[in-house]
Chain A
Amino acid sequence: MLHALIAAAGEPIEYGKAAGRAIALGFGAGGGAAGAGAGIGAVFNASIQSKTRQPELRAEVERDQWLGFALTEATFFYGLVGGFIAFFL
């Protein structure tokens, strides 16, 4: 049964490589998105808390919040770029 399947697949090594690439892209993008999602949530959580506690610091907190947002968001792209490198190279 298994032999018949492998024979039907033609080039099992090629298919395995393609599957590995697809897995790498999915894992890179998915893992990066999960991590960045948790991180961005933490950033906005802290920002909202400090803004409600000390509304007079709103401007400063918001500036730092956007800095933290952009730095955290970038980690998603590190995962994505790693996935792309595995997928296309």
Chain B
Amino acid sequence: MSAATAAPPITPQGAGAAPHEKQGMSTKRKIGWSIFGVWLGGIVVFGVLFGVTAHKAPDVANSVFSPTNEFKLDTWFKIGPIAFNKGVLYLLLTVGITLGVMIYIAKRLQQRPGRLQVAVESFYDLTRRLSRENLDENLERKYFPLIATIFVFILVSNLIGYIPLPVNSGEDFKIFGAHIPSLQIYAADTNVAFPLILALGVFVLFTYEGVKHHGPIGYVKSLMPGGVKGPIVGLIYPIEILSNFLRLISLTVRLWANLLAGHLLIAFMGGELGVLVGLQVVSWALLPFGVLIFLFEAVLIAGLQAFIFAILTAIYIGGAVESH
């Protein structure tokens, strides 16, 4: 939008060259203005066609339809005690893609890397650097594979969450007589169980490393920051214990709520808000913001959350064996 709303270029010829300004418009600016025009015109067209008074769909008015329905997990089938639903499907997809890409690249490393190998090598460099900075040599050798795996796993899981797949079994549509579930963007991270189990694993690991390094009593003592003396200890120590357990919650909620709120926002801006208030013009008017938020989430947040989870794993494990 910024290119479209910027002031027109000032030509050096002065006032006499006014007719030439329009011809001098760059192609980018033309495209920007025409998209803006289509958007504005669309608002008018939708307003005229459907009116500006709300007429909600019957399901919405009876509150049968809820925005949270899209995150419900319907059991598709069961194998023994394992219920199979779309969250499990996404997890299996993530595992498959992660293993497949990594093994494929590892088996055919080349002197002159292709695009995929460059990407994988950049992940390697990034996770290698952050585990070197936060862990000592022995721990780094031991935990670098875990940190790199966590990074790639969460990254893949986040990214396939932005590809529409036919998994919404709540609603379906027909193609040539076959019932196909609606397309939906869903990510395994939007279910709290996924980040919780990762965070639990990290929590158990850094507690184990701390206990191994300090001994059980030494570890409990090492939670206290160094240099604190006197009666203030009684005040600070409970807070330190609490903050140790809050790491579990903050690791979980950071990943889970980022993805959940992101997917909700994309859905709302991409038309659901218009359905909820019963105004087609609202859906159309918010569509560009939906596209912007989708790009923001897919480009920045997906990678950032994977990076944060990996670096916090390294920091926590490194901090557990640190002596104050």
Q: Footprint of B on A, CB under 8 Å?
A: 66-67, 69-71, 73-74, 77-78, 80-81, 88
Once A70-B254, A74-B253, A74-B254 are accepted as A-B contacts, the answer to whether A80 and B307 lie under 8 Å apart by CB is no
A88 touching B305, Cβ below 8 Å = no
Which residue of the partner chain A has the closest CB to B308? A70
Min CB distance A48 to B, Å, is 18
B250 touching A74, Cβ below 8 Å = yes
Which residue of the partner chain A has the closest CB to B262? A77
Q: Footprint of A on B, CB under 8 Å?
A: 68, 250, 253-254, 257-258, 261, 304-305, 307-308, 311
B68 touching A88, Cβ below 8 Å = yes
A80 touching B261, Cβ below 8 Å = yes
Which residue of the partner chain A has the closest CB to B129? A63
Pick the residue among A67, A78, A88 that contacts B253 (CB under 8 A): A78
B304 touching A77, Cβ below 8 Å = no
Once A66-B304, A67-B311, A70-B308 are accepted as A-B contacts, the answer to whether A77 and B250 lie under 8 Å apart by CB is no
Bound: A67/B311 CA distance, A: 9
The 15 listed contacts between A and B (C-beta, < 8 Å) are A66-B307, A67-B307, A67-B308, A67-B311, A70-B254, A70-B308, A71-B254, A73-B258, A74-B250, A74-B253, A74-B254, A74-B257, A77-B257, A78-B250, A80-B261
Bound: A69/B303 CA distance, A: 13
12 extra interchain contacts, Cβ-Cβ under 8 A, other than A67-B308, A77-B261?
A: A66-B304, A66-B307, A70-B254, A70-B307, A71-B254, A73-B258, A74-B258, A77-B254, A77-B257, A77-B258, A78-B250, A78-B257
A80 touching B308, Cβ below 8 Å = no
Once A67-B311, A74-B250, A88-B68 are accepted as A-B contacts, the answer to whether A80 and B305 lie under 8 Å apart by CB is no
Pick the residue among A70, A78, A80 that contacts B304 (CB under 8 A): A70
A81 touching B253, Cβ below 8 Å = yes
**Residues of chain A contacted by B68 (CB below 8 angstroms):** 88
